[in-house]
Amino acid sequence: MDTITKLSFLLSTLTFSLSVLGTTSYSSSSSSSSPLENFFQCLSNHSPPSYPASNAIYTPKNSSFLSILHMHTYNNRFSSRTAPKPLAIVTSLHVSHVQGTIICAKKYDLQIRIRSGGHDCEGLSYVSDVPFIILDMFHHDSVDIDVENGTAWVEAGATLGKVYYYIAKKSQVHAFPAGVCPTVATGGHFSGGGYGNLMRKFGLSVDNIIDAKIVDVNGSILDRKSMGEDLFWAIRGGGGASFGVILKWKIKLVSVTPKVTVFKVQKSVEEGAAKVVYKWQQVASELDENLFIRATFDIVNGTQTGKKTVNVTFIGMFLGLTDKLLPYLNDSFSELDLKKSDCIEIPWVNSTLYWYNYPIGTPIEALLDVPKEPLYSNFKTMSDYVKKPISEGDLGSILEFMMIKSDRMRMEWNPYGGKMHKISASETPFPHRKGNLFLIEYLTSWDEDGIEAKNLYLNMAKTFYDFMTPWVSNSPRKAFLNYRDLNIGANYPSNATTKVDIARSYGIKYFQGNFHRLVHVKSKVDPHNFFRYEQSIPPLFH
Ligand SMILES: Cc1cc2nc3c(=O)[nH]c(=O)nc-3n(C[C@H](O)[C@H](O)[C@H](O)COP(=O)(O)OP(=O)(O)OC[C@H]3O[C@@H](n4cnc5c(N)ncnc54)[C@H](O)[C@@H]3O)c2cc1C
Ligand SMILES: *[C@@H]1O[C@H](CO)[C@@H](O)[C@H](O)[C@H]1NC(C)=O
Ligand SMILES: *[C@@H]1O[C@H](CO)[C@@H](O)[C@H](O)[C@H]1NC(C)=O
Ligand SMILES: *[C@@H]1O[C@H](CO)[C@@H](O)[C@H](O)[C@H]1NC(C)=O
Ligand SMILES: *[C@@H]1O[C@H](CO)[C@@H](O)[C@H](O)[C@H]1NC(C)=O
Ligand SMILES: *[C@@H]1O[C@H](CO)[C@@H](O)[C@H](O)[C@H]1NC(C)=O
Ligand SMILES: *[C@@H]1O[C@H](CO)[C@@H](O)[C@H](O)[C@H]1NC(C)=O
Ligand SMILES: *[C@@H]1O[C@H](CO)[C@@H](O)[C@H](O)[C@H]1NC(C)=O
Ligand SMILES: *[C@@H]1O[C@H](CO)[C@@H](O)[C@H](O)[C@H]1NC(C)=O
């Protein structure tokens, strides 16, 4: 934060703190009121008597401010004592609070950050170097399943775990394709694409969304029909926070078999992991679309004390039973050496727990557990796309580099193909379709506090990313929005204007040619760039 921003941030906090000292409500409204006081007054005026704004607003003066702030901050890197804090948090209790927050923040020139589940990998829903207000959507978390029609309305604050749980309560043969982590919320997850182990059969979450309700820059509530197809296209993968506030999504449920088969097979480097990964690259995106096999790379203690090694775990999900899976894999991927004893047949909803490492037999109520404290250590994610198989020798070098240089990192390789390759690159803003063998997620995490550890591990992450350059997509190097990474470019939200050529640096990597259509939509629906943040889509003429 530069000195001027820091100063104005402090001043506005101070002004507010002083102003509340002598008052018990937000009702004072002299002409010398601060923008923040004016905002509170305005929000009160926009709230119905049954949902007073005072029940929704938290400032640093409220004793529960920090617990509300941290209830949905999932990356400790941004929740330290010194991390920038919002001026206020509006925990919306009613759609009028969403409308009021937009109208009043715009009127008093205050920036907002929108948060649903708080999993943004760079914390962009709850930290910023400019003064800001969090519009927190976690109370909007209803899930309404219409099993006869095979659809559901899910609110932005509903977690994936909750969506999976309520689908299963109504039906064992319905499912929804989305992420593995049950605490991620639909607000951010769907608007960034949303992928999981059903992707090869059914595509991304956004490929299965049929309607949405949002609040636009004027505070109007729009659905698919009233927002029009351009905006409906943009919010399904272009990042919702550049265009409005997502209230809820209408999703199309998909059909699964009453039982699915899951398995884990582990290979250490000594056991020839590189050879199996080499074959995995050739086949994983070509296999039957009912089968999804992720490869994860973890640094573990080797057999010799003091030595590290890498274990590769192949985690599988098959929409069918073991007796069909075993001969199929024996034919197409015998290197995996899958055994009957590795395979577990369970209902789809139980498989969502298995994939999140819960033991078999865990009651599905675990899907509703929402940790009240930040769950994760400090972490940094980055992503890559691979279009050509990496040679066995090069895979060996990658594993070696990981062991020696990046002992806090893990990788997940997720195969594409199937439905992902049948959908055109411009169907949604998410462009990474045909031609991609797999997506790499890099996840570097550490428990140590402090700036030194942070710099050490951020550098470690970057060193590995640089090392991977020869084997991944280029010109430009592509990235996945849901694994948000500020290293690939960012704009300055302290500036009222965000030039398109700055946004292009990250926009093309996330969206390729779709970036231009996103800019076009943005120019129509938010020409004055109210909905802006560190990696937002700017309007063309501003
Ligand atoms: C542990 C973990 C596991 C993950 N696993 C997967 C996975 O399996 N598959 C996958 O695709 N991704 C995965 N992700 C990435 C995840 O999908 C994204 O971080 C997603 O944006 C999180 O959504 P959220 O609502 O929880 O986060 P938030 O931090 O609340 O929001 C993320 C972004 O969306 C915006 N936003 C949030 N709510 C709204 C709204 N209502 N209207 C408009 N904009 C909004 C925010 O402003 C921010 O820019 C994972 C992330 C973590 C930390
Ligand atoms: C926060 O404090 C203010 C001032 O005391 C109060 O009016 C408001 O109701 C408090 N917020 C909540 C959610 O209780
Ligand atoms: C199914 O959809 C139709 C048309 O939208 C609607 O009239 C009907 O009520 C829905 N069925 C149920 C069980 O809600
Ligand atoms: C690594 O994998 C091997 C099997 O290939 C297994 O025996 C060992 O326990 C694994 N190590 C860890 C730490 O998981
Ligand atoms: C790995 O080895 C180190 C010592 O070399 C030890 O401190 C640590 O506990 C070991 N980790 C596991 C998971 O066994
Ligand atoms: C696997 O394939 C080999 C030959 O390709 C065959 O001999 C063997 O019986 C098969 N095993 C199973 C379990 O199908
Ligand atoms: C699946 O979930 C149900 C419901 O919670 C539970 O009773 C059952 O034990 C689970 N089955 C397995 C195999 O995990
Ligand atoms: C935004 O502001 C920063 C610092 O104040 C400045 O360096 C930068 O050039 C500005 N960017 C644009 C696009 O105006
Ligand atoms: C918002 O309101 C302004 C002023 O009334 C109008 O010009 C503009 O078209 C509206 N924007 C949208 C997206 O409806």
Domain assignment of residue 504, yes or no? no
Domain assignment of residue 339, yes or no? yes
- Are 219 and 325 part of one and the same domain? no
The arithmetic mean of pLDDT across residues 453-463, rounded, is: 96
**Residue 337, SS3 per DSSP:** coil
Q: Which residue among 268, 298, 300, 301 has the greatest number of ligand 5 atoms within 8 angstroms of its CB, and so is best to mutate? A: 301
Q: What is the pLDDT of residues 133-185, one digit of tens each?
A: 999 999 999 999 999 999 999 999 999 999 999 999 999 999 999 999 999 99
Beta strands in 168-223 (DSSP E): 174-175, 209-215, 221-222
Total domain count, the chain = 3
Q: How far apart are alpha carbons 491 and 499 in whole angstroms?
A: 8
Residue found under tokens 């400790």: 76
**Domain range enclosing 62:** 3-136
Instruction: Tell me if residue 385 is catalytic.
Output: no
The arithmetic mean of pLDDT across residues 322-328, rounded, is: 98
Q: Whose CA is nearest to atom 5 of ligand 3?
A: 149
The answer to whether residues 297 and 390 touch, using CB atoms and an 8 Å cutoff, is no
Residue 406 is predicted with a pLDDT of 81
Boundary residue ending a domain (450, 471, 492): 471
- Are 180 and 160 part of one and the same domain? yes
The answer to whether residues 438 and 285 touch, using CB atoms and an 8 Å cutoff, is yes
Confidence grade of residue 497 (pLDDT, cut at 50, 70, 90): low
Taking each continuous run of H as one helix and of E as one strand, the counts in the chain are 15, 18
Taking the centre of ligand 5 as the mean of its atom positions, its distance from the CA of residue 408, in whole angstroms, is 13
Top mean pLDDT of 69-73, 368-372, 399-403, 421-425 is at: 421-425
pLDDT greater than 90 at residue 87: yes
- Which residue type sits at 206? V
Residue found under tokens 């802006």: 532
Q: Whose CA is nearest to atom 10 of ligand 5?
A: 301
One of 58, 108, 483, 533 is an active-site residue; which one? Answer: 483
- Nearest Cα to Cα of residue 182 among 440, 357, 343, 344: 357
pLDDT greater than 50 at residue 3: no
498 compared with 208, residue with greater pLDDT: 208
- Are 309 and 219 part of one and the same domain? no
**Residue 291, SS3 per DSSP:** strand
Q: Which residues pair with 380 in a beta bridge?
A: 444
- Are 114 and 248 part of one and the same domain? no
- Are 269 and 158 part of one and the same domain? no
Taking the centre of ligand 6 as the mean of its atom positions, its distance from the CA of residue 266, in whole angstroms, is 21
CATH number at residue 174: 3.30.465.10
The answer to whether residues 325 and 318 touch, using CB atoms and an 8 Å cutoff, is yes
- Are 130 and 27 part of one and the same domain? yes
Q: Which residue among 330, 332, 341 has the greatest number of ligand 6 atoms within 8 angstroms of its CB, and so is best to mutate? A: 330
Boundary residue ending a domain (84, 114, 136): 136
| Ligand 3 pocket, CB under 6 A | 146, 148-149
Domain assignment of residue 229, yes or no? yes
Question: Can you spell out the DSSP letters for 123-156?
Answer: -TTT--SS-EEEEE-TT---EEEETTTTEEEEET
Residue 491 is predicted with a pLDDT of 87
Helices 35-45, 95-107: inter-axial angle, 10-degree rounding: 140
- Are 390 and 314 part of one and the same domain? yes
Atom number in ligand 5 closest to CA 306: 5
The arithmetic mean of pLDDT across residues 459-474, rounded, is: 98
Q: Has this prediction a pTM greater than 0.95?
A: no
**Residue 210, SS3 per DSSP:** strand
Residue 346 is predicted with a pLDDT of 98
Q: Please, how many CA atoms are within 13 Å of residue 463, restricted to the half-sphere of its CB?
A: 14
CATH number at residue 34: 3.30.43.10
Residue 509 is predicted with a pLDDT of 98
Which of 319-323's residues contact partners 24+ apart within 8 Å by CB, and which partners? 319/201, 319/256, 319/257, 319/260, 319/290, 319/291, 320/257, 320/260, 320/261, 320/290, 321/257, 321/259, 321/261, 321/345, 322/261
For residue 503, the tally of other CB atoms under 10 A from its CB is: 23
- Are 251 and 264 part of one and the same domain? no
Boundary residue ending a domain (471, 498, 523): 471
Taking the centre of ligand 1 as the mean of its atom positions, its distance from the CA of residue 166, in whole angstroms, is 20
For residue 417, the tally of other CB atoms under 10 A from its CB is: 21
Helices 224-234, 514-525: inter-axial angle, 10-degree rounding: 140
Domain assignment of residue 8, yes or no? yes
Q: Is the CB of 209 under 6 A from ligand 1?
A: no
Q: How far apart are alpha carbons 13 and 133 in whole angstroms?
A: 12
- Nearest Cα to Cα of residue 483 among 120, 236, 235: 120
- Are 312 and 428 part of one and the same domain? yes
Domain assignment of residue 483, yes or no? no
Confidence grade of residue 307 (pLDDT, cut at 50, 70, 90): confident
Closest ligand to residue 3's CA: 8
Q: Is the CB of 493 under 6 A from ligand 1?
A: no
Q: Which residues pair with 313 in a beta bridge?
A: 266, 296
Domain assignment of residue 201, yes or no? yes
Structure tokens at 123: 């914390």
Q: What is the pLDDT of residues 284-297, one digit of tens each?
A: 999 999 999 999 99
Domain assignment of residue 497, yes or no? no
Q: Which residues pair with 261 in a beta bridge?
A: 318, 345
Confidence grade of residue 434 (pLDDT, cut at 50, 70, 90): very high
125 compared with 376, residue with greater pLDDT: 125
Q: What is the pLDDT of residues 96-117, one digit of tens each?
A: 999 999 999 999 999 999 999 9
Residue 407 is predicted with a pLDDT of 82
* 380: Cα separation from own chain's centroid: 13
pLDDT greater than 90 at residue 266: yes
Taking the centre of ligand 4 as the mean of its atom positions, its distance from the CA of residue 305, in whole angstroms, is 14
Structure tokens at 208: 């299965």
Q: Whose CA is nearest to atom 7 of ligand 8?
A: 492
For the chain, the residue count is 542
Atom number in ligand 1 closest to CA 535: 49
Taking the centre of ligand 9 as the mean of its atom positions, its distance from the CA of residue 255, in whole angstroms, is 41
Q: Is the CB of 49 under 6 A from ligand 5?
A: no
- Are 176 and 288 part of one and the same domain? no
Domain assignment of residue 299, yes or no? yes
pLDDT greater than 90 at residue 11: no
Residue 103 is predicted with a pLDDT of 98
If residue 309 lies in a helix (H) or strand (E), which one and from where to where? strand 308-318
Q: What is the pLDDT of residues 40-71, one digit of tens each?
A: 999 999 999 999 999 999 999 999 999 999 99
- Are 214 and 289 part of one and the same domain? no
SS3 per-residue string spanning 370-425: CCCCCCCCEEEEEEEEECCCCCHHHHHHHHHHHHHHCCCEEEEEEECCHHHHCCCC
CATH number at residue 288: 3.40.462.20
Q: Is the CB of 216 under 6 A from ligand 9?
A: yes
Atom number in ligand 2 closest to CA 26: 7
Alpha helices in 445-499 (DSSP H): 451-467
Helices 273-283, 392-405: inter-axial angle, 10-degree rounding: 120
Residue 14 is predicted with a pLDDT of 37
- Are 124 and 169 part of one and the same domain? no
Alpha-carbon separation of residue 468 from 384, 395, 434 (angstroms): 9, 10, 22
- Nearest Cα to Cα of residue 293 among 274, 268, 312, 272: 312
Residue 80 is predicted with a pLDDT of 87
Closest ligand to residue 383's CA: 1
Q: Is the CB of 356 under 6 A from ligand 8?
A: no
Taking the centre of ligand 7 as the mean of its atom positions, its distance from the CA of residue 90, in whole angstroms, is 38
pLDDT greater than 50 at residue 8: no
